[in-house]
Amino acid sequence: MSNSFDVIVIGGGPGGYVAAIRCAQLGLNTACIDEWQNDDGKPALGGTCLNVGCIPSKALLESSENFERIAHTFPAHGISVSGASIDIAAMQARKGKIVKTLTGGIEMLLKKNKVTRLHGHGRFVGNSDEGNWCVEVETEGKSEFLEARHVIVATGSAPRTLAVAPFDGERIVDNAGALSFQDVPAKLGIIGAGVIGLELGSVWRRLGAEVTVLDAGAAFLPAADEQVAAEALKQLTRQGLKIHTGVTISATKTSKKGVALEYATKDGTQVKETFDRLLVAAGRTPHTAGLGADRVGLKIDARGYIEADQHCRTNLPNVWAVGDVVRGAMLAHKASEEGVMVAERIAGQAGHVNYEAIPYVIYTAPEIAWVGKTEQELKQAGVAYNKGQFPFAANGRAHAMEETAGFVKFLADAQTDRLLGVHIVGPHASELIAEAVVALEFHAAAEDIARIVHAHPSLAESMHEAALGVAKRTIHI
Give residues in contact with ligand NAI (CB under 6 A): 162, 191-197, 199, 214-217, 249, 281-284, 329-331, 361-363
- What 3-state DSSP class applies to 342? helix
Residue 152: which of 25, 340, 303 has the closest Cα?
340
Helix (H/G/I), strand (E/B), else coil: 205: helix
Select from 8, 32, 34, 203 the one that contacts ligand FAD (CB under 6 A): 34
Task: Decide whether 424 or 444 has the Cβ nearer to ligand FAD.
Answer: 424
Closest CA to 437 of 367, 364, 350, 360: 360
Q: Please tell me whether residue 341 binds ligand FAD under the rule CB under 6 A.
A: no
Which of ligand FAD, ligand NAI, none binds 177 (CB below 5-8 Å, type-dependent)? none
Does position 316 bind ligand FAD by CB under 6 A?
A: no
The verdict on 59 binding ligand FAD (CB under 6 A) reads no
Q: Are 361 and 448 in contact (CB under 8 A)?
A: no
User: Residue 228: what are its φ and ψ, rounded to 5°?
Assistant: -65, -45
Nearest to 32 by CA among 11, 18, 48: 11
Tell me if 12 contacts ligand FAD by CB under 6 A: yes
In the list ligand FAD, ligand NAI, none, the entry touching 75 (Cβ below 5 to 8 angstroms by class) is none
Residue 412 touches which member of ligand FAD, ligand NAI, none, C-beta under 5-8 Å by kind: none
Residue 328 binds ligand FAD (CB under 6 A): no
Residue 427 found at the interface with ligand FAD (CB under 6 A): no
Q: Which residues of 38-69 are buried (b: 16+ CB within 10 A; e: fewer)?
A: eeeeebbbbbbbbbbbbbbbebbbbbbbebbb
Is residue 321 a contact residue for ligand FAD (CB under 6 A)? no
Alpha helices (H) along 382-418: 396-401
* Binding residues for ligand FAD, total number by CB under 6 A: 37
∠91-94-97 over CA atoms, to 5°? Answer: 150
Phi, psi of 172 (to 5 degrees): -110, 110
- The CB-of-446 to ligand FAD minimum distance in angstroms stands at 27
Q: 191 or 470, CB closer to ligand FAD?
A: 191
The 3-state DSSP composition of the chain as helix, strand, coil percent (nearest 5) reads 35, 25, 40
In whole angstroms, the minimum distance from the beta carbon of 250 to ligand NAI comes to 10
Show contacts with ligand FAD in window 363-422 (CB under 6 A). Answer: none
Q: Which of ligand NAI, ligand FAD, none sits in contact with 192, Cβ below 5 to 8 A by type?
A: ligand NAI
CA atoms of 248 and 238, how far apart (whole Å): 24
Burial string for 209-224 (b: 16+ CB within 10 Å, else e) reads bbbbbbbeeeebbeeb
CB of residue 245 to ligand NAI, shortest distance in Å: 8
Which amino acid, one-letter code, is at 408? V
Interacting partner of 249 out of ligand NAI, ligand FAD, none (Cβ under 5 to 8 A depending on kind): ligand NAI
- Order across the sheet with 360-362: list the strands: 360-362, 367-372, 419-426, 407-413, 385-391
One of 24, 32, 35, 392 touching ligand FAD (CB under 6 A) = 35
Which helix H or strand E contains 57, and what residues bound it?
helix 54-72
- Catalytic residue numbers read 456
Out of 327, 333, 345, 352, the residue judged to bind ligand FAD by CB under 6 A: 333
Selection from ligand NAI, ligand FAD, none that 337 binds (CB < 5 to 8 A by kind) is none
For ligand NAI, which is the closer residue by CB, 302 or 384?
302
**Which CB sits closer to ligand NAI, 249 or 411?**
249
Q: Please say which residue, 51 or 474, places its beta carbon nearer to ligand NAI.
A: 51
What letter represents residue 7's amino acid? V
CB of 220 to ligand NAI, least distance (A): 8
Binding-site ranges for ligand FAD (CB under 6 A): 10-16, 33-36, 47-49, 53-54, 57, 121-123, 154-157, 175, 196, 287, 290-291, 323-325, 330-333, 335
